[in-house]
Structure 1
Amino acid sequence: MINSNPELRTVQVTRYVTPLREGGSLPALTEADDGFLYVLKFRGAGQGVKALIAELIGGELARLLGLRVPEIVFAQLDEAFGRTEPDEEIQDLLRFSTGLNLAMHYLSGALTFDPLVTSVDARLASQIVWLDCLLMNVDRTPRNTNMLMWHRELWLIDHGASLYFHHSGQDWTEQAKRPFVQIKDHVLLPYASELETVDTQGKEILTKERIQGIVALIPDDWLADESSDDSPEVRRQRYAQFLTDRIAHSEIFIKEAQLARAALV
C-alpha cells in the first residue's frame, strides 16, 4: 500500500567527514546522531533551499513510483558546528547552512551506473525517463547519470537540478504545459520504449492527494522569500499545482520524449 502522507525523520549532524566532489553544491559525507552516514546537501550552497526543495520532491515522487531512492532525512546543523573546520570555504558553507538541511542515506560501496556495463529493462528505463520529464530534470545524462548500482540494484540520487525554472521568474502555469526538450540527452532514453504504459501507471499513482502529501513536507523557512508577500503555503501550493497540471498534460512531454528517442534509435 502506498503511503499518501509520507514523513521524513530529522537527524542531528554530529561530524563532517569529507566533501564528496567539487562544484557549486559541495555536498558532503557526514555522520548523524543515529550513527549512520549521510550525503548532506547544504542550504547555504549555490542554488540554496530551492535545490533542497527539488531534491525532496523528486526523491519522494520517485519513491512513490516504486523506484529505489536512498532514505531522505532532514539534517539539523548547529551554529557551532563549523567553528573547528580549518578549510575557510567549507567553514563559510557550514555557517551559512545553520538550521535545517537535507540529506540522503549513504550507500556505502555503491558504484556509479555505467550504461556500457549495466543494462536496464524497458519498463524501468521508461519509468525513470517519465519521472525526469515530469520534473524537468536536466541532470541524468551519460556524463553525469546520477544513478548508482548498489547490491545489484539501480538507485536514483540527486534531483536537485529538477524544477530548474523555479530559480527564475518564469510563469509556472506556462512551464507545466511545456515539452521537455532536454530529454534528448537522457542516458536511458534509448531503452525507454514503454512510455505510454508507464504514463498510465504514473497518473494512477501520483494523485492530487499524494502530491499534497509530498509538498506538505517542505519546511516553511525553505519557502520564505523577502521579495514577495506570498505565504509559505501559497508557495507550497504552486509546486502542487505545477505537478498536478504537468501530469494532466503529460501527453506533451511524452510526445517530445518519443520523438527524441526515435531520432536515436
Structure 2
Amino acid sequence: MLTEVTATRYITPLREGGSLPGLVEADDLGTYVMKFTGAGQGRRTLVAEVISGELARRLGLRVPRLAVLDLDPAVGRAEPDEEVQALLHASPGPNLGMDYLPGSLGFDPLAYAVSPREAGRVVWFDALVNNVDRSWRNPNMLVWHGDLWLIDHGATLTWQHNWPAVEAAAARPYDASDHALAPCRPDLGAAADDLAPLVTAELLAEVTALVPDAWLVGDDETADPAALRARHAELLLARAAVVSEAITVGDPTPARPPAPPGWLLAPAPRRAGEGR
C-alpha cells in the first residue's frame, strides 16, 4: 500500500498545472504536492498517477514518492483564493501526495544532457502508458541533485476514459515526434530489451493494487474495483509485448500546439457563491 499521511498545513497553490495542485505539509513532517480528488479532471487522473508513477519506479525510472494524503479542508481556511477554497472543500478525505523536491528545476534540454539510453527508457515507458503530456511544450520532468525525475502522470492510461474502445488500445500507435526527449536520440531498442521483460502480470497486479478503491469507482457505486484493476493490468501487459513496434519518432509539429484531449479541459471547481 502507499504510505498514508495526514495534511496538517496548506502552504500555497501551485498554478503551473490545470488541476491547481497545492503544496502542503503532513504529519510525517514531509512536504507534498497534493493532487485533489475534487479537481475538474476527476479521480481517474489520480488512478493514472498511481499506476503509471509506481510502474515507472519499478522499471528503474525516478519518480517522487507517492502517498495517500488525508485532507481536512479546514487546514486551508486561511487561503484567500475562493477557487482554492472550493477545491479544498470538494476534496475531503484521501487525496494524492507527491513528495516535494525542494530546489528542483524544470527540465531544459539546453542545460541538461540526457543520454540516448536514458531517453529511450523514458520514451518507451511513456509509450507503454500512452502519456500524451510529456512534449517539448510541457516536459513534466525535473532535474534534482543532477538526476532526471518524472512527474505528472495524470494524462496517461487514456483508455480508462473510453473503456468501450479498450480492445484497440493495446496496439495503439505512439507518436513520439514531439516528446521532450526526442532530440536526445532515444535508444528504443535497448529500452525494449531492458524494460519489456520486467512488465509481468505479477508486477502489474502489485502496482494496480496500490490504487484506493474510491478513486477507481468514482461516483459509480456499481463499479467493481477488482475488475477495473484487472482491465488496466491486462491492457498494460498486452501493450508491453507490442509497444516497441508502435513508437514513431519523426519531425516535431509546428510551434502552435494541437488541441489537448477534451477530458484535460474539464472545468475547474465552481467558485464559492457562483450559481449552479
Both proteins in one fold, TM over 0.5: yes
The answer as to whether partners of 2:71 and 2:94 remain within 8 angstroms in 1 is: yes
The answer as to whether partners of 1:27 and 1:41 remain within 8 angstroms in 2 is: yes
Distance of aligned partners of 1:238 and 1:192 in 2 relative to their CA distance in 1, 3 Å threshold: farther
TM-score normalized with structure 2 length:
0.86
Q: Shift of the alpha carbon at 1:170?
A: 4.6
What does residue 137 of structure 2 align with? Answer: 143
The answer as to whether partners of 2:34 and 2:98 remain within 8 angstroms in 1 is: yes
What does residue 235 of structure 1 align with? Answer: 228
CA distance in 2, matches of 1:22, 1:40: 13
Equivalence map 1:183-202=2 (5 Å):
183-202=176-195
What does residue 69 of structure 1 align with? Answer: 63
Amino acid in structure 2 at the alignment position of 1:110 = S
CA distance in 2, matches of 1:91, 1:193: 43
Q: Shift of the alpha carbon at 1:44?
A: 0.6
Q: Does 1:40 find its partner at 2:18?
A: no
Equivalence map 1:181-220=2 (5 Å):
181=175, 183-220=176-213
Q: Does 1:128 find its partner at 2:122?
A: yes
Percent of residue pairs identical: 48
**What count of residue pairs does the alignment treat as equivalent?**
252
Q: Does 1:12 find its partner at 2:6?
A: yes
Aligned partner of residue 246 in structure 1, secondary structure: helix
Distance of aligned partners of 1:57 and 1:39 in 2 relative to their CA distance in 1, 3 Å threshold: same
The equivalent position to 1:157 in structure 2, one of 148, 151, 154, is 151
Amino acid in structure 1 at the alignment position of 2:196 = K
Q: Shift of the alpha carbon at 1:146?
A: 0.8
Distance of aligned partners of 1:226 and 1:74 in 2 relative to their CA distance in 1, 3 Å threshold: closer
- Ranked by relative contact order (alpha carbons within 8 Å, sequence separation 6 or more), the top structure is 2
Amino acid in structure 2 at the alignment position of 1:137 = N
Q: Shift of the alpha carbon at 1:229?
A: 3.3
Q: Does 1:101 find its partner at 2:95?
A: yes
| Structure with a larger share of its residues in helix | 1
CA distance in 2, matches of 1:192, 1:241: 30
CA distance in 2, matches of 1:113, 1:191: 13
Aligned partner of residue 48 in structure 1, secondary structure: coil
What does residue 107 of structure 2 align with? Answer: 113
Amino acid in structure 2 at the alignment position of 1:231 = D
Aligned partner of residue 171 in structure 1, secondary structure: helix
The answer as to whether partners of 1:178 and 1:252 remain within 8 angstroms in 2 is: no
Distance of aligned partners of 1:78 and 1:207 in 2 relative to their CA distance in 1, 3 Å threshold: same
Q: Shift of the alpha carbon at 1:215?
A: 0.2
CA distance in 2, matches of 1:39, 1:149: 16
CA deviation profile, 1:13-36 (whole Å, cap 9, x unmatched): 011100111553101111001111
Amino acid in structure 2 at the alignment position of 1:114 = D
The alignment's C-alpha RMSD in Å is 1.8
CA distance in 1, matches of 2:197, 2:80: 51
Comparing 192-201 with 23-32, which one deviates more in the overlay? 192-201
Amino acid in structure 1 at the alignment position of 2:233 = A
